[in-house]
Structures are given as structure tokens and as C-alpha cells.
Structure 1
Amino acid sequence: MASIKEIRTHIKSVEQTLKITNAMYLISSSNLRKARKQLSDVEPYFQKIESTLSDILHHSEEINHRFFDKRPEIPPEKRKVGYIVVAGDKGLAGAYNHNILKLAEEKMAGTANTSLFVVGQAGRSYFQEHGIPIDVEFLYTAQDPNVGRARDIAELMIDLYLEGQLDEVYILFTKMINTFRMEPTVHRLLPLDRDSFPVYDKNRDCYNRDVVYIPSVKAVMDLLVPGYIKGDIFGALVESYCSEQNARMTAMKSSSDNARAMLQSLNLAYNRARQAAITQEITEVVGGAQAAL
């Protein structure tokens, strides 16, 4: 049996760990609420862009626009595919980083010509350690995602796509389905798919109307599509950040529960050791008294 001093030292160590895990749980909870609010504040703007694009696509003739060009003349083995991988900056978040990085490896293994773009220190470190070349490292932290960072990423992806350096662009992120379920997700940014734009107001199809886009449909699409892609990327960054914070909350709650259970066991062991020491002292006193008689 461990000595009273050793048990007391162990108890203090676990208590300090419990304070840290509790603090990390509260911080992650606060960050999660902040990120959710940030997304909800700008969501109407990006939804309006999406609804406008949907309106143009469903009430115009077949549009042959460069952002919808799937380049069918290029065979699959020669297509240049870009993957934006959104990971975290640190661990202590369960399997959050592991799941998205493994998904990225699987996707890249099945593609001949790939370009890798990474957000998050955990992703950069992982790919460097495994000898996987990174084409562009976005030197942003995965913490505190904002529209400015999403715009920078979107502009780079659009330029590479229009210049022909990339034929397809995907973003890999973790989608938060609910508090208990987070799903690594692959979402195609470019080229856009006409069928992915829903009809927002079906009642509009009940009557005929002529819509004129000034100066042209192409010019309007050139202006709206980059904003739509920026919104897609921003949503992915926030979803990943929320998933990371939720995963960390779950991990810290589990750690705190384990620490509390360990403290109960240690306190029980401490009381038993102290009782044994008291019993030993009483036995020694009684034995000494009897020897004196």
C-alpha cells in the first residue's frame, strides 16, 4: 500500500488536472457559442447570394459559364484536383484531427494529380511528418475563422481554376451534425453543379416573367459566384471550428469525469491508509504500556 504522503501528492496532482480540464471545457463551450453566432450573423447574406444564383439558373436559358465548366474533354487520369484540408491547431480533441486527415489521405490516394492546401497546424505537421508535399500552407490558425480568410482562400482557388492549374477543387472539413455526431465531409467548390442549386420560391414558377440582367447574365454570375464560393469556404471553416470545440468539450468532460472517479478512489485509499496508521500507533502504545507493567 502506498504511503499517506504519496497518496496525498497523487490527490493534489489529480485535482490540478481536474481544474485544467474543467477550464478547457468552459473555454471550448464559449468558443462554440461565439462561432455559431458568427455564422448565424452572416448566413442570411450568403443565403441571398445562393438564392439569387438559383433564380438565375432556373429562369434563364442554359448557361454556359466558366464556373460551371466541368471540362469533360479532360480524362479522369489527367484531371488536376485541389484539396483544401481544414484541421485543428492542436490536439486534446478526441479523433477530430485523425478522422479528417485520414479522409484526406484516402481521397488523395485515389487521385492521380493532386494539389494540397492546408488550414491548421495539426494538418501541416501531419503531412510534413508523413512526407506528403503541401502546395500551399494557409498560415492562418484554425481558431477564430472569419470572412476575410475565406475570401483570400476563395480568390486563390478561383484564380487557379480559371488559369487551368486546377480542374476541380474540393474542401475537406468536419461537419457538426449534432452534439454527439461529427462527420468528415468532402464538398466540391468548383466547378459548380447546376443541380445543386434548389428552387427557393416554387411559387415563382406559377407565372411567367421576363427577367433582364444588366449588363449581362455572365457579368452578374462573374460577380455573384466568387461571393458564393467565399460563403461556402467560410461555412466550412466555421463548421470545422465548431466541430473541434465540440470534440474538445466531449474529451474534457470525459477527462473530468475520470479525474473525479480517480479522486474518489484516492480519497478512499487515503482514509484507509490513515486509519491503518492510527491503528498501528494505538497498537504500539498499548504494547508499550503492557510491557511497562
Structure 2
Amino acid sequence: MAERLSDVEDRIDSVRQLSSVISAMRGIAAVRSREANARLAGIREYAETIGTAIAQALALYRAGGAEPAADRGEAGRLLILGLCAEQGFVGAFNTHVLDEVQALATSFGADRTDLLMVGSRGVAAARERGLEPVDCMAMAGHADQLAALANRLGDRLFARLQAGRVSRVVIVSARPDEAHAAPYSVVRQTLIPFDFDRFPPANLARPPLIHLPAAVLLARLTDEYVFAELCEALTLSYASENDARMRAMIAARENVARKLDELTATSRRLRQEQITEELIELSGAVRD
């Protein structure tokens, strides 16, 4: 009986240590989510500034009698940028993103689709489904690494575009659900072809001073805007990943708490049984 009680007490200690680890992981995920969300305002303000400049450059470009390249529809190959989790304990996060990736690839045509994955856990999960990425990258480990990751991702994306390997680019990623109906939602965002119609016409009553041809200026501003979109998508995905991890840790902590209650009750019962046996042995010795 004493050995069984000691085993239960050892398990209680182990469960308490596990609870401490879970609490620490939850705290780290919460901090990382807040850090990512704190960067969104700056990213969006940057994108808005570039968007205003694009509207002006577009007006100058059109004033010269030219129009941006038209959307080629479904022609060419599609490149899907799938943003998944780098680390584990995120529940069904990768599953939801890959479900959307697979649905998009099927609708466009798997033989005309390439996949570029971000997030080591997502890459492994994609390969289990038979999806082999043409390229893969690790997701940022900290919020201050997201801009550098967006730069590297943009370099690889533009290299494939310039080589003529793809004509359409769509990001599939998670972002926090603003309605709070769910921890996050998975969305599609078209990067290429670039949608110039999103920018309202600029007033050229006082045209801006420029030092580059309008076509070159428009191309460079478009590249900057795509970079801002990559930054935002990566930041939202990173925040969603950590939100999912935080919720997974909350659920794990609740399960650990229930297990600890069960073990504590078992320990008390065994201790009481041990005391009862000792009292019985003691009373028998007194009678003898």
C-alpha cells in the first residue's frame, strides 16, 4: 500500500511540473501574439502611404495614354503561398490552412499549381497529404523577424515571376477573427495579378514631383505594396498561430487540472486506507 501511495505522489509531482510548463508556454504565446498585433498598425499605415503614392503614379501613367497590364485570367501557373505553423501545440491550425490550400489547388488544377510553404510543421503536414512544395521556408520565431522573412519570401516570389514560372500568386493564411466567433479564420488573398482598381483615382490638379518615368515608379511602388501585403499576411498568421497555441494550452491546462484532482483524490484515499490498516495492526498488537 505504501509503495502505491508513493507512486501516486510521484505522478502528482510530475503533473504539477507539466502544469507549470503549460502555463509558461501559454504566457509565451500570449506575449508573441500581442507583439505581432502591435506591429499591424505600422504595417497598415505603411501600406496606406504606398497605396496613396500608387494612385498618384497610376494617374500619371494613364495621363501618358498607357494602362497597367491586364489580368490574364486563368492563364499560366498558380503559385500558392501557404502560411502554416513553425512549432507544434496549435491544434488544427495547419489542417485548416492545408484544407484551403488543397481546395484552391483542386479548383485551379493540381497540374498547374505550385506550392511555396512557410512553417516547418505545415511542410511536414503537407507532405503527409501528398502535397510536395516547390520551395519551403521556416516561419519567424519572433515578431521582430517577420519583416526579414517577408523580404526573403518576396525575393523568392519575384524570382519565380521574373523567370516566367508562374503568372498568378495567392496567399492562403490564417488571421485572427475580428468577430471573435472563432480563434482565427483562413482566407485567400490574391497578390498577383496586382489589383490596381482598389486605389481610388488621384487628383492631379497639383501633380507630384517625380524623378523617375511613371512606368518605373509605378512598378517599384507596386513591389513595395506587395512587400507590405506579405508583411501583413505573415504577421496575422504569426498572431493566429500563437492564439491557437494559447487556446491549446488553456485546454491542456484544464485537462491537467482534472487529472491532478483525480490523482489528489486517489492519494487521499490511499493514505486513508494506509492509516486504517496501521490502526488495525496496532489494535491487534495491543490485544495480543
Partner of 1:124: 123
Q: Find 1:101's aligned residue among 98, 110, 113.
A: 98
What CA deviation, in whole Å up to 9, does each residue of 1:115-154 have, x standing for no partner?
111111012212333332221223x334234223212322
Partner of 1:21: 22
Partner of 1:83: 80
Structure-2 change in CA distance of 1:195 and 1:186 (3 Å): same
Partner of 1:268: 265
Partner of 1:236: 233
**TM-score w.r.t. structure 2 length?**
0.86
Structure-2 change in CA distance of 1:242 and 1:63 (3 Å): farther
Partner of 1:209: 205
Cα distance in 1 for residues equivalent to 2:66 and 2:209 = 13
Q: CA deviation at 1:183?
A: 0.6
Cα distance in 2 for residues equivalent to 1:92 and 1:137 = 21
Q: Find 1:281's aligned residue among 274, 278, 281.
A: 278
* 1:42-191 paired onto structure 2 within 5 Å: 42-57=43-58, 64-66=67-69, 69-72=70-73, 76=74, 79-112=76-109, 113-138=112-137, 140-144=138-142, 145-178=145-178, 180-191=182-193
8 Å contact kept, 1:155–1:226: no
The 3-state SS of whatever aligns with 1:165 is coil
CA RMSD between the two structures: 2.5
8 Å contact kept, 2:140–2:149: no
Matched, 1:259 2:256: yes
Write out the 4+ residue segments of structure 1 that deviate beyond 4 Å after TM superposition.
55-63
Cα distance in 1 for residues equivalent to 2:133 and 2:77 = 15
The 3-state SS of whatever aligns with 2:67 is coil
8 Å contact kept, 1:119–1:142: no
8 Å contact kept, 2:84–2:94: yes
8 Å contact kept, 1:213–1:220: no
**TM-score w.r.t. structure 1 length?**
0.85
8 Å contact kept, 1:88–1:142: no
The 3-state SS of whatever aligns with 1:92 is coil
Unaligned runs of 5+ in 2: none
8 Å contact kept, 2:183–2:240: no
Q: CA deviation at 1:258?
A: 1.9
The 3-state SS of whatever aligns with 1:64 is coil
8 Å contact kept, 1:174–1:185: yes
8 Å contact kept, 1:158–1:226: no
What CA deviation, in whole Å up to 9, does each residue of 1:79-130 have, x standing for no partner?
3100011111121011111111121122112222011111110122123333
The 3-state SS of whatever aligns with 2:132 is coil
Question: Aligned AA for 1:31?
Answer: R
8 Å contact kept, 1:57–1:63: no
Structure-2 change in CA distance of 1:85 and 1:249 (3 Å): same
8 Å contact kept, 2:43–2:231: no
Cα distance in 1 for residues equivalent to 2:38 and 2:126 = 32
Matched, 1:39 2:40: yes
Cα distance in 2 for residues equivalent to 1:186 and 1:58 = 29
Identity %: 23
Q: CA deviation at 1:158?
A: 3.0
Question: Aligned AA for 2:258?
Answer: A
Unaligned runs of 5+ in 1: none
Cα distance in 2 for residues equivalent to 1:161 and 1:87 = 22
The 3-state SS of whatever aligns with 1:146 is helix
Cα distance in 2 for residues equivalent to 1:96 and 1:198 = 36
The 3-state SS of whatever aligns with 2:177 is strand
The size of the alignment, in residue pairs, is: 278
